Copies of this chain bind each other. A is one copy, B any other.
Amino acid sequence: MDGTTGAETLQASALAARYGAAAPPAGPWNATIAGLLGHRSVRGYRPDPLPAGTLETLVAAAQSAATSSNLQTWSVVTVEDPATRAAMAEIAGGQAHIAECPLFLVFLADVSRNQRLGEAEARALEGLPYLETFLVAAIDAALAAQNAVVAAESLGLATVYIGALRNDPARVAALLGLPPGAAGVFGLCVGYPKPGAEGEVKPRLPQAVVLHRGRYDAAAEPAARRAYDAEMTGFSRRNEMAADSWTQRVIARIGTVRALRGRDRLAATLRSLGFPLR
């Protein structure tokens, strides 16, 4: 007997899955935190529908997240029409799970509702055209979406964010009939994972390079990156086609403008959708 309980073993396993050899010491813990640590993005879904009321519960969770000055400058659109789903999958570079998941949501940065409020009250809203206001909308959409993800996963559902909708936000806006001042910032697939689609928990960078105490300090980075590259090479070998290191993946993802797949035009596109980004 070494005094280790079953709960402590599960906690140590969860931290080891997320950090490999660089796991931090075990702190406070509970079932909600275990759920957060167990997150995996899932890219294969069974067609089974969600239980009645699931969408409304996810949206209630999303709306319960903090929102800057209670402005609530985000919205969410469900996409059910198969042709629209297929178009979204195409925009995202051929991600079949967008067409197959039982619930597909597009989260919007949406200042149009407050714009309509201003028009109805005959008041100019001078703050709307600024980058700050778009950023608030995008951050609030993200906080809301993450609450929806936590709620979904707590119900045994899986999720994956679809940032690749930003490959062509103008087409997304046209498909969803968005007014000026609303733009899709990302999508979210929700459903039950296909057998084998759940995969392993993906390791993250050691806390030593993400968490800074008092002042920013990058001294731990070179050694941490070597260790993390080894973790990710092993993860890739076990779970994916190519055994790439994290360093290789970062270079592949942001090394060239072409790898942005059109997102190098995002500023111009957002301006055309009613966000001047002043």
The reply to whether B33 and A151 form a contact with Cβ atoms under 8 Å apart is yes
Q: How far is the CB of A181 from chain B (nearest CB, A)?
A: 11
- The answer to whether A264 touches B77 (Cβ under 8 A) is no
Q: Does A197 contact B (CB under 8 A)?
A: no
Rounded to whole angstroms, the CA-CA distance of A68 and B207 in the bound complex is 18
Flag A51-80 by CB within 8 Å of B: 1 or 0 each: 111111101110111111111101111111
A113 adjacent to B218 (CB under 8 Å): yes
Instruction: Kindly state the separation between the CA atoms of A31 and B30 in the bound complex, as whole angstroms.
Output: 11
Do A255 and B127 touch (CB < 8 A)?
Answer: yes
A residues at B contact (CB < 8 Å): 15, 18-19, 24-33, 35-39, 41, 51-57, 59-61, 63-72, 74-81, 84, 108, 112-114, 116-118, 120-121, 123-128, 130-133, 135-136, 138-139, 142-143, 145-147, 149-151, 154-155, 159-161, 163, 166, 176-179, 182, 185-186, 201-202, 204-205, 207, 209-218, 221-222, 225, 232, 246-247, 249-251, 253-257, 259-260, 263-264, 266-267, 270, 277-278
Jot down 15 A-B pairs with beta carbons below 8 A, ordered by A.
A15-B60, A18-B63, A29-B57, A32-B35, A39-B66, A63-B210, A68-B161, A68-B163, A71-B254, A75-B216, A117-B250, A118-B251, A130-B264, A138-B139, A267-B278
